[in-house]
Amino acid sequence: MLTVIRLFPKQCLVQKGVVYLERKQLIAEVEGILHTYCEGCLLKAAFRKEKGKSYAHKFCITECTVGEQLKRCGERLLK
């Protein structure tokens, strides 16, 4: 059974004692991270130019701390 509770400023879903942020809030968090850190990233631009788009993408996902944070948000979305 899911119970919606209101926690200022976020609404959360409680299931089996674990609190999940709502899907919309997680997506907004991802968009905020992308906008703040990834748009205009000099490393990404340099890697795209020097080593190609695939390498730059792989670097962002596996090596960059922001990419790791985005992966964690994605995992939370899949729950």
Residues of the chain with pLDDT > 90, as a percent, come to: 59
Residue 15 domain-assigned?
Answer: no
Q: How confident is the model at residue 8 (pLDDT cuts 50, 70, 90)?
A: very low
- Are 4 and 13 in contact, with CB atoms under 8 Å apart? yes
Predicted confidence at residue 4, as pLDDT, reads 43
- Enter the tokens of residue 64: 């960059």
The answer to whether residue 37 is domain-embedded is yes
**Does a structural domain hold residue 32?**
yes
d(CA 19, CA 45): 37
User: Would you say residue 17 lies in a domain?
Assistant: no
DSSP state of 53: H
Domain assignment present for residue 49? The answer is yes
Listed residue (63, 61, 32, 57) closest to 21, CA to CA: 32
Give the residue numbers spanning the domain of 34. 23-78
> Has residue 57 been placed in a domain?
yes
Domain count of the fold of the chain: 1
Q: Dump pLDDT digits (tens) for 15-41.
A: 544 455 478 889 999 999 999 999 999
1 part of a folded domain: no
Query: Does residue 5 or residue 52 have the better pLDDT?
Result: 52
Q: Is 3 helix (H, G, I), strand (E, B) or coil?
A: strand
- Look at residue 50 and tell me if it is in a domain: yes
Q: What is the pLDDT of residue 77?
A: 86
